[in-house]
Amino acid sequence: GGEKSRVQLAILMTTPADLLILDEPTNHLDLQGIEFVEDFVQRYPGAVVVVSHDRRFLDNTATSIVEIADGVANRWKGNFSHYSQQRDLALLTQARQFKNQRDFVEKEMEYIRRNMAGRMSAQAKGRLKRLQRLQLIDKPKGNRSQMKLTFGQTTRGQQGQAAIECEDLRVAVGGRTLIEHGELRVWFGEVTALLGRNGAGKTTLLRLLAGHGQPAGGTIRRAQNLRIGYFSQEKNDLPQHGLVIDALRELDRTVDERTLRDHLALFLFCGDDGEKPVAELSGGEKQRLSLARMTRAQFDLLCLDEPTNHLDVAGTEGLEQALKEFPGTVVLITHDRKLVREVADRVAWVEGGRI
């Protein structure tokens, strides 16, 4: 995925243009690739419009943010951090203004009710006319809707013990050796971020850790009865046909429809969203549906391959919070630098055929 993105960017960078339109340019890129795109955007002499949910990337490149929500586009000056502060302040100000106006209207209506038929009726009628001309402040929408995501509260395994041990590991694809003499321990209760260049073998290694396939050499020992959940960046687990609710129902036919819809709502699939065909979902919606399916089961170890790709900022923040609260073990491939900083206890760096 990252190599395909690099090819697209190479073509784009050699095409003269006054305006660049980039749709999620950092998806699938490794850290070095993201930093290269950042530098390119910063130095680009023309205008750039970018769709991105990479908070660090937006902090380093954006000079204004356009937020689209509820059919309205609002523009904010500055980078993502500045936008977040301004937006929170604007919501707080609007909430205060809304409350003050509501208190004022209630007070005026009480005066009008008490005096409409008495000797102060002229003043009461005047106040009523002023209220009728008053432009009412909309009720604040509140913060972005966030996924209510949990990977479970109880897991097996003692902190400080090894969940997975790899010795003299050889990882190969199509006859090409990616990792030789690999050594890796994954500890119970920790989040291990698996980082490195595109093509270094991270995804293949993660699949092997999750029990998908056998290594070309060496050994992988897993703790006894370890329940492993695997999240693929290709979303191969999703059915190709059927509706969103069917994709959840096929995991357990005994669960009633109300329970399924309540679970989907936690992942922002509300109302008629459950009737959408899976094939017509956007990248972010497919990502949320894969996470919804994953959280229907209990796991001790989560192997997550680029789980934030295509997720919006609220979705990424929801995932970040869920990983912080998960008492189990996580091996995570991501190039979201803010996510690594917030949740990782340990980094396993894959480079030059070594871990």
- Which is more confidently placed, 94 or 217? 217
Does 167 have pLDDT greater than 90? yes
Spatial separation of the C-alpha atoms in residues 190 and 348, rounded to whole Å: 12
Beta strand ranges found along 52-202 (DSSP E): 64-69, 72-77, 162-173, 176-187, 191-196
Report for 85-89, 172-176, 261-265, 328-332: range of highest mean pLDDT = 328-332
Phi-psi category of residue 232: left, alpha or beta, with phi > 0 → left and psi -120 to 50 → alpha: beta
CA distance 327 to 332: 15
Under the banding of pLDDT at 50, 70 and 90, the label for residue 331 is very high
Lookup result for tokens 């050699």: 14
Pick from 39-43, 90-94, 197-201, 209-213: least confident: 90-94
350 pLDDT more than 90:
yes
Q: What are phi and psi of 263, to 5 degrees?
A: -70, -40
Q: What is the pLDDT of residue 134?
A: 80
Q: Are 303 and 229 in contact (CB under 8 A)?
A: yes
Residue type at 29 in one-letter notation: L
Place of tokens 């129902």: 249
Mean pLDDT of 314-324: 86
Residue 307 pLDDT exceeds 70: yes
Residues with Cβ within 8 Å of residue 169, at least 6 apart in sequence: 179, 181, 182, 183, 184, 205, 208, 215, 217, 218, 219, 220, 355
Nearest CA among 277, 279, 305, 280 for reference residue 291: 305
pLDDT > 80? residue 95: no
pTM: 0.70
pLDDT at 259: 87
Q: Give pLDDT tens digits for 120-150.
A: 778 888 888 887 888 777 776 655 555 667 7
Provide the pLDDT for residue 142. Answer: 58
The yes-or-no verdict on residue 304 having pLDDT over 90 is: yes
Structure-token match 């586009």, residue found = 73
What mean pLDDT is reported for the chain? 86
32 or 167, which is more confident = 167
Query: What are the tokens at 339?
Result: 């996510």
Cβ atoms of 231 and 304 within 8 Å: the answer is yes
Residue 141, pLDDT score = 67
pLDDT at 222: 93
